[in-house]
Amino acid sequence: DTKVNDNLSTILEWSKQESDMGVYANADTPADFAQALKFGADGIGLTRTEHMFFKPERLLEMRRLIIAEDAKEREAPLAELAKMQQGDFYELFRLSEGRSVTIRLLDPPLHEFLPHDEKEIQKVADQLNIDPTYLARRVDALKEINPMLGHRGDRLAVTFPDIYEMQVRAIIGAALDLLDQGLIIEPHIMIPLTGSKAEMKWVREVVVNQVEQLFAKKGAKLEYTVGTMMEIPRACLTADKVAEVSDFFSFGTNDLTQLTYGFSRDDVGSFMPEYIKKGILPADPFQTVDVDGVGELMKMAVEKGRFAKPNLPIGVCGEIGGDPKSIEFFEAIHVSYVSCSPFRVPVAKLAAAQAHIKLNKKKDVMANLVKN
């Protein structure tokens, strides 16, 4: 075990010397984050906050919130959830010891938190002490035919801004708590599913207003950033405009691939193997970047984004952020960091270093050719 750990440390050390690409982890719990740190992660590149709401007592509060129609009824569950979220973020920030942590605001459609069949509706109505027909009506109102293209991501900030406001207060509140103890945290707040500058500008204002109010209330301040996921083709096509209101970009290649190909990320099993077997696709584009299509959009977004903001940090936090072949492409288009599941971190680090050496060598060969 010690020998394996020594070898891992040596590889990570070499990798760090060779590449300046950051390798972060996708982590939603302190346990995942601790594991990622053991594997040499530079911090967290994506916390999917929706995963924090599935513990029974939280799910109940979330349900209470979602079904409440008027602002007054929403106050109590929002306050409860804010307290729980602040504890979640406090733990992640504390473990980070000042390393970079990026928290993504709520992404999935709200109906995912609600019961669906009659029996479950009855059970939840009993737990919440409400009328089951009222609950059934609320469940119905949130039902969608195609939820992955529907009422999710930052669209929720437009319709239910109080949910994002609660999360922002919890993130900044946790960072201020740690500041009191002498640990400086710069939270990175990430907005999912942005499609346009106008949308990002609107959501950014919701976030910034909330932060400023909290700073005023606490009489304290800290540095923070507000960036966006790049996972809708339209955002990539207009990346120069989106960059004007974003402090960083992070490609969500799962949704970007889904939306570029028009392949449902949840249903590819029924046809993808045939496409690969018959040579129509070289590989599953959700696992290895499709350089000609999705990759071209990414390249365009990097160029446009940095045209507007030359030092814009740009990452990849979709599944392929940990795939070595894809990492070589990301290095070539000047992505600044990748983020992947904790267990893929060491391989990603090594791949980043190899890609750096390979691409720089290529540049040297070119330089010699030009010289001679």
Question: Toward ligand PEP, which CB reaches closer, 176 or 289?
Answer: 289
Tell me: does residue 58 bind ligand PEP (CB under 6 A). no
Cα–Cα distance for residue pair 103/89, rounded to 1 Å = 9
- Residue 231 assigned ligand-binding role: yes
Which of 185, 317, 338, 348 contacts ligand PEP by CB under 6 A?
A: 317
Min dist. Cβ of residue 255 to Mg ion (A): 4
Q: Which is nearer to ligand PEP, 78 or 338 (CB)?
A: 338
User: Which of 28, 37, 15, 6 is CA-nearest to residue 317?
Assistant: 28
Residue 269 CB neighbour total at 10 angstroms: 7
User: Is-contact 15 355, C-beta < 8 A?
Assistant: no
Annotated catalytic, 236? no
Q: How many residues bind ligand PEP (CB under 6 A)?
A: 10
104 annotated binding-site participant: yes
Residue ranges with strand state E in 105-248 = 188-191, 225-230
How far apart CA 292 and CA 87 sit, in angstroms, is 43
Q: Are 4 and 11 in contact (CB under 8 A)?
A: no
Q: Assess contact for 335 and 326: CB atoms under 8 A.
A: no
Q: Are 325 and 285 in contact (CB under 8 A)?
A: no
The nearest distance, CB 168 to ligand PEP, in angstroms, is: 19
Binding site for Mg ion (CB under 5 A): 231, 252, 255
Strand 100-104 to 22-26 pairing: unpaired
284 token code pair: 């599953």
Neighbours of 267 (CB within 10 A): 10
Query: Mask: binding to ligand PEP, 137-166, rule CB under 6 A, as x and -?
Result: ------------------------------
Task: Decide if residue 231 touches ligand PEP (CB under 6 A).
Answer: yes
Site for ligand PEP contains 254 (CB under 6 A): yes
Q: Is residue 42 near ligand PEP by the rule CB under 6 A?
A: no
Can residue 255 be called a binding residue for ligand PEP (CB under 6 A)? yes
214 vs 235, beta carbon nearer ligand PEP: 235
- Is 297 one of the binding residues for ligand PEP (CB under 6 A)? no
265 a known binding residue? Answer: no
Q: Which of 253, 326, 336, 341 binds ligand PEP (CB under 6 A)?
A: 253
Which residue stretch of 251-259, 269-277, 306-314, 324-332 sits at the interface with ligand PEP (rule: CB under 6 A)?
Answer: 251-259
> For 34-72, what is the HEC assignment?
HHHHHCCCCEEEEEEHHHHHCCHHHHHHHHHHHHCCCHH
Choose between 173 and 295: whose C-beta lies nearer to ligand PEP: 295
From 107, 177, 290, 323, residue interacting with ligand PEP (rule: CB under 6 A): 107
Tell which one of 11, 30, 48, 158 touches ligand PEP (CB under 6 A). 48
Q: Which of 252, 305, 313, 346 binds ligand PEP (CB under 6 A)?
A: 252
**CA gap 129, 141 in Å, rounded:** 20
The encoded tokens of residue 162 equal 């109080």
> Could you give the CA distance from residue 26 to residue 342 in angstroms, rounded to a whole number?
7
Binding positions for ligand PEP, rule: CB under 6 A? 46, 48, 107, 231, 252-255, 317-318
List, as residue ranges, the binding site: 48, 104, 231, 252-255
- Return the active site residues: 317
